[in-house]
A and B are shown apart, each in its own frame.
Chain A
């Protein structure tokens, strides 16, 4: 079941390796993400966006404060689409998606059906037996997206998922992501998207959090009130883009 994500009084410091003063990346950070919404986090490089995502994913621990969910963290189904696909090169495309289902109580035919359906949805139906190194960068990221949705996640974290791709491929993958997001066959997860691309944020998100400063804080929260499915050339997206840029500049 998708869940609210409550970030309360969050501090994150990184110790200085040279023995100097610790670097504070996030200080007294408060924000609440509603169940089933997709929030995009934008801001300059090094402002703590990826740190925030790692904290939500449980890959790092806060120095102070807490991130809480509706259920205990251990019982939440969580998925991440990383900037690099992070596939297991020695497993086939099918096995790469199937492996994340191995901890779940699902019988083999259902697993096969789930994987096949997702590979169809990410438009890789003929590549189930291929090894990742034989795929293009965009195709590998499609596998990574299929893997993320395979566990029917309560929380989906997207860490600059299309930034390593050329714009044409990235645009097609955003459409794939949108259609998976809107697919009524599965629950809509609570999503957090970290991105440098303001148009991408406007295209995919319900709200855009503009971060800035050091330590980082919230500069603005912009509602994206555009009906889905969205078109990447919708003029309203450019208006949102302009507002985000203004918030970043003013911040």
Chain B
């Protein structure tokens, strides 16, 4: 049974405290939040240094040498440019996959026939390694932009279709009845009900999709591109520059962390803004 209704209608949002009274607690909160990540970096660097010291081999360079390489890549502006090229290719492939995954994901959730029809294709997509898509796309499309875009799209598609499908299935039967009773037009149902429901599923699907996309794009760039992070990794490998291989990998890791904190987490907060427990 629901609680007795409040007799006074208070604002649903808490009053905002003044800036001076919230600054220090916020700083402390941020420190607490960042402590585990900082600890991870300290443990990682210390472990790596111990390994480099023990191995005493140019194949396991010291953290300082990797940091110098990373600095050189980043400060010259060359690294960010190459990362941007890789991100552009990934994003285009990703958007293509999303455009295909939305209708197929919705169809497979609402139609038993469509579900059975697409099932073998989805399993095929999940089974085929990114390496195969990369090779095939380089063979088919050569060094054009289509190669990485199509390879990424094919690699990411199954995971996105499954996310969209689960999103639509999560829509309660009760809400479907409500939209039927009030005879909501199809475009309103799509825009105001399905897309918001799918939004949070797509955001989490994008996270998984982006990590898959990276594994595909790096291969396409190794095999068929003359720039991008994958190409640079291959170039460093060819010159046996271990610091270079690690530094390029780390640079992309940093870029992915920025995407996670700058795009995915804000998107997720926005997607969940109406949830009581998730409001900051």
Contacts and interface: CB of A to CB of B under 8 A. Distances in A.
Interface of A: 57-59, 78-80, 82, 84, 86, 88-91, 95, 99-100, 102-103, 123-127, 130-139, 147, 151, 164-166, 168-169, 172
B276 A134 contact: yes
Contacts of B181: 57-59, 78-80
Given A78-B182, A86-B178, 12 more contacts: A89-B275, A90-B197, A95-B192, A99-B182, A102-B188, A103-B182, A123-B9, A124-B9, A126-B9, A133-B275, A147-B182, A165-B1
Interface of B: 1-6, 9, 11-13, 174-175, 177-178, 180-185, 188, 192-193, 196-197, 273-276
B185 A136 contact: no
Contacts of B274: 89-91, 131-133
A137 B3 CA distance: 7
Contacts of B5: 136-139, 165, 168-169, 172
B182 A151 contact: yes
A102 B184 contact: yes
A32 B114 CA distance: 43
Contact of A82 (B11, B174, B188, B275): B174
Contacts of A79: 181-182
Contacts, number: 98
A139 to B, nearest CB: 6
Main secondary structure of the interface of B (DSSP, over half): loop
Given A136-B5, A168-B4, A59 B184 contact: no
B170 to A, nearest CB: 12
Contact of B2 (A58, A78, A99, A164): A164
Contacts of B273: 131
Contacts of B197: 90
A100 B1 CA distance: 27
A151 B181 CA distance: 11
A89 B273 CA distance: 10
The 10 A-B pairs with the shortest beta carbon distances in the complex, nearest first, are: A137-B2, A138-B5, A134-B12, A131-B274, A130-B12, A133-B276, A169-B5, A90-B196, A100-B182, A102-B188
Contact of A164 (B1, B13, B177): B1
A43 to B, nearest CB: 22
A95 B192 CA distance: 9
Nearest to A125: B9
27 contacts: A58-B181, A59-B180, A80-B181, A82-B177, A86-B174, A88-B175, A88-B192, A89-B275, A90-B197, A91-B192, A91-B196, A102-B192, A124-B9, A126-B9, A126-B11, A127-B9, A127-B12, A133-B276, A135-B12, A136-B3, A136-B4, A137-B5, A138-B4, A138-B5, A165-B1, A166-B2, A169-B4
A126 B174 CA distance: 27
Contacts of A137: 2-3, 5
Nearest to B175: A86
B178 A103 contact: no
Contacts of A80: 178, 181
A176 to B, nearest CB: 11
A86 B182 CA distance: 12
Nearest to A91: B192
A46 to B, nearest CB: 19
A244 to B, nearest CB: 23
A99 B12 contact: no
Contacts of B276: 133-134
A74 to B, nearest CB: 8
A106 to B, nearest CB: 13
A80 to B, nearest CB: 5
A195 to B, nearest CB: 16
A99 B188 contact: yes
A102 B185 contact: yes
A101 B6 CA distance: 29
Nearest to A59: B177
A147 B12 CA distance: 20
